[in-house]
Structure 1
Amino acid sequence: MAPVAWCFRLLKQRFTSQQPEILYHRDLKPGRTCPILSTITLGQREARVTSTIIILALIAAFLGLRLYSALGKHGSDPEVAPRPDEQPRTAPVTAPAAQPQETPRLRSVTPVAGSVYEPAAEIGIRAVLAADRSFDVSRFLHGAQAAYRMILEAYWKGDKNALRELCDADSFEAFAEEIDARAARGETLDNRLVTIDRAIITDASVNNGIARLTVRFDADIAAITRDGEGRIIAGSMTDAVATHDVWSFVRSIGSRDPNWLLDETDAG
């Protein structure tokens, strides 16, 4: 048997399930091996060494990554200890801009004495303010001037319905009697309120839940009285007469009606 064929038979026995048989060849001397088997054995050894190296390299890489993740980058940069004489730097603290303090809003209810009310009426006005928190002295005085004009015009025209809405019972009766007397005489009034020069509160008080304010009106009125035939019997449309009236207005503090009613009239 040739040496090569003998080696192939030996390989077949190694890689199959056949029972190994003792093979001898005359050309093989004791102590010599099959050249093919020697080559295969050397290749297997080299493959095992290479696999071992690859496995060790992978283990080393894995351990290196774990160590890097555990220590982080700070391990490569040692912390520098601060100098004893060096003060730690802190960011400058900037104080917040001071917000302008909002002045408490006070109700415009107590103007300077002398412009809207006389000094003698201040105590009474404070009493009205304490009793009625919705009271506004400037708004009241503006409404009083409007009422002054409407009441005079209603009286001059003889409009009792309008007067009833603006006056209390006593004041209405007084105006109504004058209107009836004038109509009985056959007279009419052709008057006109030219201007209100000044309106000022002269007195104020609160009694039994009723607020009462007195206002002095300084006005210019052009007054003419005509007879039943329309002839002028008194007054002049070209000459306005300066008049001074003192009127008092009342209102129930507990009432939902914000309107003030004329309570009393007097010549100033």
Structure 2
Amino acid sequence: MMNQAFDPLNLLILAIAVVVILRLRSVLGKRTGNERPPVDPYATQRRAEKPQAPGNVINLPQRENATENSASQPPAEPVWTGYAEAGTSVAKGLEKIAAADGQFSTKTFVEGAKLAYEMVVTAFAQGDRQSLKNLLSREVYEGFARAIDEREKAGQILESRFVGIDKADVTAADLKGKRASITLRFIAEFISATLNKAGEVIDGDPKQVRQITDVWTFERDTASRDPNWKLAATDEPG
């Protein structure tokens, strides 16, 4: 075994290994713990993008800033502000809905209802049943679908162009169990006319703007994860 350790070939390999190690140390150097970190090519850009405090201004901790900002903000207005009078049944109903649904906003609801109104009347005129099904409750959808079926069987065409909504007033609001309901009175303008098979106008005027009043009730289950309201009833204005 000892003779094999001192074999000339083994000694030659050992000598070569020592020479290689010495060369590497001379080129790479030894780690002392004081080496400079590697260069970050994006460091200069990040420093330029980081906002600097002017002069001697000292940034306060975020918690203190948040406390100061929240203290300076005015208290939130009641959910019915701008849509109902204090103490009315509408105001109380909106308050109950907001208590059941912390994300409820009367303004957001009314804007969404106005958009839904335009989508529904447009889809009805076009006979778009799928769009109506997504926006209406089952009972209301069945009524709209029957009207479309009768119009198509008679060979009639409804030409309608939505002009705009003049007013959308909240006339009722309530919460029964988890079921929230809000009624709006829409005053809108349309250009509409119904044509027979021969293309003759049998109702309306394709050139005249008409004002129409609709009273629609929207409902939503406040316990549901679905945030969407659906049209649950349509009434003639009283």
**Shared fold by TM > 0.5?**
yes
Out of 84, 100, 117, the residue aligned to residue 148 of structure 1 is 117
Who is 1:51 aligned against?
none
Residues 216, 246 of structure 1: 8 Å contact kept: yes
Out of 69, 74, 81, the residue aligned to residue 111 of structure 1 is 81
Seen in structure 2, the aligned counterparts of structure 1 residues 107 and 134 have a Cα distance that, compared at 3 Å, is: farther
Instruction: Deviation per CA, 1:14-34: give whole Å up to 9, x if none.
Output: xxxxxxxxxxxxxxxxxxxxx
What letter is aligned with 1:252?
A: D
Residues 108, 136 of structure 1: 8 Å contact kept: no
Out of 139, 143, 162, the residue aligned to residue 193 of structure 1 is 162
Aligned 1:31-46 pairs, distance under 5 A: none
Instruction: Deviation per CA, 1:24-62: give whole Å up to 9, x if none.
Output: xxxxxxxxxxxxxxxxxxxxxxxxxxxxxxxxxxxxxxx
Residues 128, 205 of structure 1: 8 Å contact kept: yes
Out of 100, 107, 110, the residue aligned to residue 131 of structure 1 is 100
Seen in structure 2, the aligned counterparts of structure 1 residues 119 and 244 have a Cα distance that, compared at 3 Å, is: farther
CA RMSD of aligned residues (A): 2.4
Out of 226, 233, 254, the residue aligned to residue 202 of structure 2 is 233
Residues 189, 226 of structure 1: 8 Å contact kept: yes
> Which secondary structure state, in structure 1, belongs to the residue aligned with residue 213 of structure 2?
strand
Aligned 1:9-88 pairs, distance under 5 A: none
Who is 2:127 aligned against?
158
Who is 2:5 aligned against?
none
In 1, distance between residues paired with 2:188 and 2:76? 32
Task: Point out the structure with max Rg over C-alpha.
Answer: 1
Structure 2, gaps ≥5 residues long: 1-67
In 2, distance between residues paired with 1:118 and 1:195? 32
Q: How far is 1:233 from its partner?
A: 2.0
In 1, distance between residues paired with 2:184 and 2:71? 38
Q: How far is 1:111 from its partner?
A: 2.0
Structure 1, gaps ≥5 residues long: 1-97
Instruction: Deviation per CA, 1:168-200: give whole Å up to 9, x if none.
Output: 100000000000011111101001121100001
Seen in structure 2, the aligned counterparts of structure 1 residues 118 and 159 have a Cα distance that, compared at 3 Å, is: farther
2:140 aligned with 1:174, yes or no?
Answer: no
Aligned 1:199-238 pairs, distance under 5 A: 199-238=168-207
Q: How far is 1:223 from its partner?
A: 1.3
In 1, distance between residues paired with 2:138 and 2:177? 18
Residues 118, 201 of structure 1: 8 Å contact kept: no
Seen in structure 2, the aligned counterparts of structure 1 residues 215 and 118 have a Cα distance that, compared at 3 Å, is: farther
Q: How far is 1:147 from its partner?
A: 0.3
Residues 83, 170 of structure 2: 8 Å contact kept: no
What letter is aligned with 1:254?
A: A
> Which secondary structure state, in structure 2, belongs to the residue aligned with residue 145 of structure 1?
helix
Seen in structure 2, the aligned counterparts of structure 1 residues 262 and 99 have a Cα distance that, compared at 3 Å, is: closer
Q: Which 10-residue stretch deviates more, 123-132 or 167-176?
A: 123-132
Q: How far is 1:231 from its partner?
A: 2.4
Residues 204, 213 of structure 1: 8 Å contact kept: yes
> Which secondary structure state, in structure 2, belongs to the residue aligned with residue 249 of structure 1?
strand
In 2, distance between residues paired with 1:207 and 1:251? 11
Identity of aligned residues (%): 33
Aligned 1:79-98 pairs, distance under 5 A: none
Residues 118, 202 of structure 1: 8 Å contact kept: no
Who is 1:260 aligned against?
229
In 2, distance between residues paired with 1:133 and 1:100? 19
What letter is aligned with 1:199?
A: A
Q: How far is 1:120 from its partner?
A: 4.0
